[in-house]
Amino acid sequence: MTNESASPEEWQQLSRPTPEWFQNSPFGIFIHWGAYSVPAWAEPIGALGTIDDDRKWFTHNPYAEWYYNTIRIDGSPAQQYHKETYGGGDYDDFLDQWKAEQFDPADWVELFKFAGADYVVPTTKHHDGIALWDAPGTGERNTVRRGPRKDLIGEIASAVEAKGLKLGLYYSGGLDWHVRPFPPHITSESVHDTARPKDAGYAEYAYNHVVDLVDKYRPHVLWNDIEWPDAGKHFGGHGLGTLFQHFYSTNPEGVVNDRWGATHKDYATSEYEHSSQSESESQWENCRGIGFSFGYNQVEGPEQSLTGKQLARHLTDVVSRGGHFLLNVGPRADGTIPEIQRQALTDLGRWMANAKQYLVGGRPLEDAPAESQSDPWIRWVDRGTEVVAFVDSQGEGAEAALELGPDRFALAKASLAGPGGSVDFDGQVLKVTLTADRLGPVIVRIPRG
């Protein structure tokens, strides 16, 4: 094979049926943990996709994991904070200050499993270029040689396997501000095109990293971010096509996301409210943090964070539209999960203990009643022999009327699955009454007629 860019037909040859495990995995946990968790600072200005002004987004970036970029933007509040708090010191000082002294991966994964997660996707290397394993070609600039002095990915992978969950691995193939430094990003165009590395040298560097991750940890998901260097988009030596072939041969049930440029994917992704067009594809995943940041942001509080009940709604909404939900956790530098995040996951898990069985394998309901964006809040999932309605409201004693064709569904046989309310069929309308003690949306099972 040559090293010329592959044709659409060559990429198409990688297409395959979606593995059953992924189809039946509605919920995953993302982990953003890095040297950026030491300063743990960003301005919580809002969610990605809600701020159209590029300059505002990057200068006031709510993503704490982008700290290295934001502090290099002249006049940014992050630059001022960095100067006042750290004397404007070198970013790599944070790697040495990052000790992970209370890191307990078994505790993490136990929490994730309790929350109802099916797969776990830790960040192996973010845009700052610091690897969380002894990555080839990184010298001393990884967590085995400096800082925590541990193979963090290896320890997380072992804990995930021990709990019977699937492992995914995030890798920033599109950016590496250390190996390929560029001026700070202040536009989306610079991130995705004009100021990302595209050369063959970086393509080989990234290829060697991801192959090493595949061989060492045998992930089920490869979650690339931003793009892939253009000079590596081929099926030759160190080519992305060759990488995909190696991954699938190592794990025939593996899947890859869509952030490799115009090459190949098993599923599409959206992020917060950005790239919502991806949510019309046959397989897609929405990712977001509990707050506005992925990396831990000490500035965020309850007002920026979703509760367990709100997470249950978001997960249900995603599944009702055919998607998967990848929820991010941002640990502190010491390895502890912030209480706001831990509580949200715990509360979600209490609801998922009953609800998950009605989400797994669920599909969007064709010809479903129009979605209600306000009160009452209703989402539908098709489970073949029955449909399931997830009903919620801001009020405590609210009522919802489920309007379905009586010729299609046995409304008189509808039943409540779990606590939180009651159902009543008066011969015409199926009414759901919600109680104040519900953990999340109330679940109503309706057999097909």
Q: pTM here?
A: 0.97
Token readout for 299 is 């500035």
- pLDDT score for 373: 62
Claim to verify: residue 397 and residue 423 sit in the same structural domain: yes
Q: What is the pLDDT of residues 140-165, one digit of tens each?
A: 999 999 999 999 999 999 999 999 99
The span from the CA of 155 to the CA of 171, in Å, is 17
- pLDDT tens-digit readout, 221-272: 999 999 999 999 999 999 999 999 999 999 999 999 999 999 999 999 999 9
Residue 404 pLDDT more than 90?
Answer: no
3-state helix, strand, coil split of the chain in percent (to 5) is 30, 20, 50
387 plus 324 within the same structural domain: no
Question: Does residue 168 lie in a domain region?
Answer: yes
- Determine how many CB atoms are found less than 10 A away from the CB of residue 385: 8
**Residue 77 shares a structural domain with residue 175:** yes
Which of 326, 359, 392 finishes a domain? 359
Same domain, 169 and 292: yes
Is 364 inside a domain boundary? no
Q: Are residues 166 and 281 in the same domain?
A: yes
What band does 395 get if pLDDT is binned at 50, 70 and 90?
Answer: low
Instruction: Say yes or no: 20 and 53 in one domain.
Output: yes
What's the token pair of residue 158? 């072992």
Angle between the 339-359 and 105-114 helix axes, to the nearest 10 degrees?
50
Q: In which residue are the tokens 């209480």 written?
A: 339
Residue 132 lies in a domain: yes
Length of the chain: 449
Residues 419 and 340 in one domain: no
Residues 97 and 181 in one domain: yes
CATH number of the domain at 183, please: 3.20.20.80
Query: Does one domain contain both 343 and 419?
Result: no
Domain boundary at 359, 385, 418, which?
Answer: 359
How does strand 255-256 pair with strand 221-224?
Answer: parallel
Residue 1 predicted with pLDDT over 60: no
Residue 2 lies in a domain: no
Residue 365 covered by a domain: no
- Residue 162 in tokens: 């021990």
Give the pLDDT score at 4.
Answer: 81
Same domain, 354 and 381: no
| Domain count of the fold of the chain | 2
In a domain, 371, yes or no: no
Residue 201 maps to a domain: yes
Judge whether 106 lies within some domain. Answer: yes
Q: Per-residue pLDDT for 397 more than 80?
A: no
Beta bridge partners of 443: 390
DSSP notation for 419-435: SSEEEEE-SS-EEEEE-
Residue percentage of the chain with pLDDT more than 70? 98
The answer on 298 and 196 residing in a single domain is yes
- The parent domain of residue 384 ranges over 377-447
User: pLDDT grade, residue 407 (50/70/90)?
Assistant: confident
Distance (Å, rounded) from C-alpha 331 to C-alpha 396? 34
DSSP per residue over 233-301, as a string?
-SSSTT-HHHHHHHHHHH-TT-EE-S-SSSS--SSEEEETTB-GGGGGSSSEEEEEESSS-SS--TT--
> 265 and 348: one domain?
yes
Q: Of 327, 359, 391, which one is at a domain's C-terminal end?
A: 359
Q: Give the Cα separation of 329 and 198 in Å (integer).
A: 30
